[in-house]
Amino acid sequence: MPAAEPTSYGFPKSAFDPTAIPDFDTEFMNKADLEEFAKALSAPESSPVIALNDWRPVRQRVKRKRTGQRKKPRRTTDETREGFVYTILKWPLFLIVSGWILFLSASYLLTRIYIWAYERLVTWRGQRQRLRRNLRSKTNYEDWRIAAQELDNHLGNEQWKETDDYAYYDYTTVTKVKDQLKAGRKLAESKEKLRNKSSKELVDKLRSLVEACVKNNFVGVENPRLYSETYYGTKHLAQEFIDELHASLAYLLRSSQVSEAEKYSLAKQLHTNFGRTALCLSGGATFAYYHFGVARALLDASLLPDVITGTSGGALVAALVATRTDQELEKLLVPALAHHIKACSEPFTTWFPRWWRTGARFDSLDWARHCSWYCRGSTTFREAYERTGRILNVTCVPSDPHSPTILTNYLTAPDCVIWSAVLASAAVPGILNPVVLMMKSPNGTLTPYSFGHKWKDGSLRTDIPLKALNLHFGVNFSIVSQVNPHINLFFFSSRGAVGRPVTHRKGRGWRGGYLGSAIETYLKLELQKFMKISRHLELLPRPLGQDWSGIWLQQFSGTITIWPKSRISDFYYILSDPSPERLARMLVAGQQSTFPKLLFIQNRMKIERLIEKGLLLGGSGKADMDGIGSRDGRESMHMHGQVLRSSADELGTDDDEHEREHERQGEIRLEEKRASVIQEFKRQSGVFFDDFEEGEDTGVSEDDVAVVAEPPPVLDGRDGHDKDKNE
């Protein structure tokens, strides 16, 4: 019997071989593209097309007074309404508020230490601690699931699953609807096999019931609390309802009693009501490499969403995922990828003089060359979408302090080059200077995008652009991988999180006891309050000309928030390239943090993917009566990812076949690919958004608010269907 291959962090030795990575030695960056980028960076900022007044010519030469030294950016009187009172009180108020914030921060740190000691000394002891260590040692999902079930059995969580009653979902409606779905589906199937005339009426009743149930968080069945009481699984009733809903919808989409046009119409309605899922990757410098493990866990479970957004360091990971096929990602997301991460390889004697001279540690051209490999050269957002079906979104902030944020994707900036957007999203003041976004012209050359304006790090204002994703793609279920180190301490779920229940000697309750959780919540809210006071009263200074309050006062969580377990040593390597061994540990940590969320994501995605399959029926037969052809209908609802998945199922797993299919899809759209200059300007003027609200809180966990159950659906299938027809 051959000896087992040695492993490190669960990876075989071959996973550390860089030659096994696809395109490892390929140089994607075109020299001409890099030269155009250098010209755009050195060009002066473009000025608006204006005149002195309506009677003077445009572009008239105006004499300007020369100043000896460039003034540093500062607040104007338009912002502060400066007067003698503001001048007198600004710094005393700033010192008072800052001192109180420091006191609250120290108190919060002590509170978290108390909660950690409480859980360590009171909760995790004996057999419970041994089972927990066994759970945390698993490096693949199947072994983790078995270990989680063992821990649940030891803690008595199986009894909770068997009990239907729970405050955070309407279990009576779920029970009633589940039984009706099951009975209606079985009866319709039996009548259809016998070719009974009444089968059409039964199918209509089932359809009406499914239409009433397939909604985002229907009567609370998608409440994260339902998955926060156990390490694996949820209420048996909720799981049975989701499985039966999936089976009933699958039957309707394959039933001969439903026409192709009706199937498409049903899927279109359900797609609007149910929404889409997005994977959101936060910034965090080299902490962002934990995202590779999160993406790997979702990829192995076939649960990687089509909509992906990234900011700062997360944008680099999102670009790699969105420009590669599943087959390529399986070979790329391994420790050997560290051999291609060389952005921070310069010695101190090289980067320090640059920082002293330009104010940036890293060189934009060097980063562009390294980044282009992750983006497959000068690939645009539209080209990436056509190749993989994944919708990449990258958040960028304009260099001036008051212009709105931009979310670049294949709709808002189809011809924008991905690596330029990734660089802009990573341009933190003091680390990388603002850069110019580049776009690909019809002849393939690169030109400046958006009038040559410069952009910087998206995390400064909008780390997780949930509102823009909902606006463009109907996203209402978000999977957030959050690794920002400055808010790591403040993310705390007092009542547990998905796959991480609260367990102590008295059973379910509050982490650290009620008193510990109450103090933690109070201090965190007080910190947020005084940060907002400092911002609204214009007390905070602006180092490097940047308002830094946004890195604290924005939303950092989603429906599901994944927090990979980091180490203290990660702060030391925050601006260093990882070794293969360190990347292997980060990959495993990212995977392990995702395992507890996979069942929740799977229950959501299997309904969503089934609806997308129904949308592929558009354009056949009478479905064209809506004015939406087959391809146009799919494009309007961004279904190219499902098209490629269906093609993969038909063609098999041969890589060459996949590549030919991608090329064929690209040829179909070749004539529609480029827009005129005027159309491009119009598009650029409409891509901006402001995803920041005054009332948003920092670090709010996904389970802080109980979902109020919506009214029960109309259970009389026929009446509900007739009502829809009348409307």
Active-site residues, by number, are: 312, 457
Burial of 70 (0-12, 13-18, 19+ CB in 10 A): exposed
DSSP 463: S
Instruction: Identify whether the C-beta of residue 101 lies closer than 8 Å to the C-beta of residue 530.
Output: yes
Q: How far is CA 468 from the centre of its chain?
A: 12
DSSP 126: H
Q: Give the list of residues 6+ apart from residue 416 with CB closer than 8 angstroms, or none.
A: 380, 381, 408, 437, 438, 439, 449
E strands of 358-437, at which residues?
A: 391-398, 405-408, 435-436
Instruction: Identify whether the C-beta of residue 594 lies closer than 8 Å to the C-beta of residue 563.
Output: no
Of 346, 298, 343, 345, residue with least CA distance to 318? 298
Q: Which residue has the tokens 């009433």?
A: 212
Give me the long-range contacts of 119-128 (CB less than 8 A, separation at least 24). 119/504, 119/511, 119/512, 122/504, 122/505, 123/503, 123/504, 123/505, 127/154, 128/154, 128/155, 128/503
DSSP 674: -
Q: How far is CA 662 from the centre of its chain?
A: 25
Q: Which residues of 15-48 are buried (b: 16+ CB within 10 A; e: fewer)?
A: bbeeeebeebeeebbeeebbebbeebbeeeeeee
Instruction: Identify whether the C-beta of residue 415 lies closer than 8 Å to the C-beta of residue 344.
Output: no
Q: Which residue has the tokens 């572009």?
A: 59
First to last CA, the chain: 70
What radius of gyration do the chain's Cα atoms show?
A: 27
Q: Is 621 left (phi over 0), alpha (psi -120 to 50) or beta?
A: left
Q: Which residue has the tokens 């394959």?
A: 254
Q: What are phi and psi of 614, to 5 degrees?
A: -65, -30
